[in-house]
Structure 1
Amino acid sequence: MGIFEELKVRKGSGELLSLNELTPEKLKTMFIDEGKTDKMISQLFEVKESQITYRRKKFGISIRGSILDDFLMANSEDAKEMNEKIKLQLLDEKNLTMISKAVAHFAFRNGPIEDMHATPNNQLSEEDMKTLNKFMVNRLAYIFKLVIEERWMEFDFLIKSTDRLYGHSWDEAEPDDGETRKIIEMLLKKG
């Protein structure tokens, strides 16, 4: 059980939570590791959302800062341990929708399909885009579910059976990070 849930249980049993007990460490854990929003935390402590936002900024707790911390850590001797920790946090069934949507945007929506949708002659309607987005997210969700649940035989079958039937005339894959590395390096220079 995480810090947020523990505090929620205490509150549920009638305890009045004090903002004074919200240490920077607890706030960081709830916001970064447990993914709780300022609004959720403010409701827990029965204070204005702006008080939580102010407190978070005061202590330098941000998603960007967390990403940079993780990236910097990856260049240290603790890289393997940090990488495994992130893998375990990320590859959880509760993250299936988030992962699928993010990858669909990265690999599909933020590419040529968006140009086709946004052109003046509107080759793809809003309904077409909704249908395509839903299809992509659901298919990716299935793939990531196989990975998260470590259903490697089923994943192997999917890959090999699809590869045997389709894509033989396509170009070889060329990994494209969408300038992710460049953005991280730029953020590191600013920080």
Structure 2
Amino acid sequence: MGMFEEFEAKKAAGEALSLDDLTKEHLKTMFINEQKSDYMISQLFEVKESKITYRRKKYGITIRNSILDDYLLVKTDHAQEINNKVKAELLVEGNVTMIAKAITHFAFRNGPVEDMHAHPNNQLSEIDMETLNKFMVNRIAYIVKLIIEERWIELDFLIRNTDRWYGHRWDEAIPDDGNTRKIIELMLKK
């Protein structure tokens, strides 16, 4: 029995339904998961439809937000199926170079090193940049290959050994999506 049906059963049993009993989670479940309209929910609670619409929007419960969260955060079975399909299509030997180049641009080239290269004093020459780019792409390609081939022992060794000798005193990592989520949101709104 769904949330909407549970409230219907309470009402049928003579219980008075109050809008105060309608939590954000209840509303989201009924509107998104059970696909009940504002009108249907308003009839159940015996209030104007505009009260349900106002409350839903106040909580940020919209189809677009739900789809975005469900799919990007892989919260639903359908999103998990799509995520697994994309993973299977992406993590193949033929994509190693593409993935390595994309990660190099995302994590290295499109950051402070580009500013150093473009600086008027030309701190990094074109040859320096070519050398750095090639080095980064090749190293990342190796890591991607380990992931694709599921060579977890070798990847674990690489990570732990490198951290032990080189990076253990660096600052803690703060995940930075480089505005990727905002770009996806803008694309979905078109």
**TMscore range, shorter length:** 0.5 to 0.7
Corresponding position: 1:123 with 2:133? no
Give the % identical residues: 71
Rounded Cα–Cα distance in structure 1 between residues aligned with 2:151 and 2:86: 20
Q: Deviations over 1:92-133 (max 9, x none)?
A: 000000000000000000000000000110000000000000
Higher relative CO (Cα under 8 Å, sequence separation at least 6) belongs to 1
Structure 2 unaligned regions, length at least 5: 1-67
Deviation at 1:77, TM superposition (A): 3.7
TM-score, normalised on structure 2? 0.61
Rounded Cα–Cα distance in structure 1 between residues aligned with 2:99 and 2:91: 9
Structure 1 unaligned regions, length at least 5: 1-67
Rounded Cα–Cα distance in structure 1 between residues aligned with 2:115 and 2:90: 31
Corresponding position: 1:159 with 2:185? no
After superposition, the Cα gap between the structure-2 partners of 1:101 and 1:76, relative to the gap in structure 1 and judged at 3 Å, is: same
Corresponding position: 1:109 with 2:118? no
Aligned to 2:139: 139
Aligned length: 122
TM-score, normalised on structure 1? 0.60
Runs of 4 or more consecutive aligned structure 1 residues displaced over 6 Å after TM superposition: none
* RMSD value, Cα: 2.0
1:78 counterpart SS class: helix
Q: Deviations over 1:56-94 (max 9, x none)?
A: xxxxxxxxxxxx9xx58x565411111111101000000
Aligned to 2:170: 170
Residue pairs, 1:24-39, within 5 angstroms: none
| Structure whose CA Rg is larger | 2
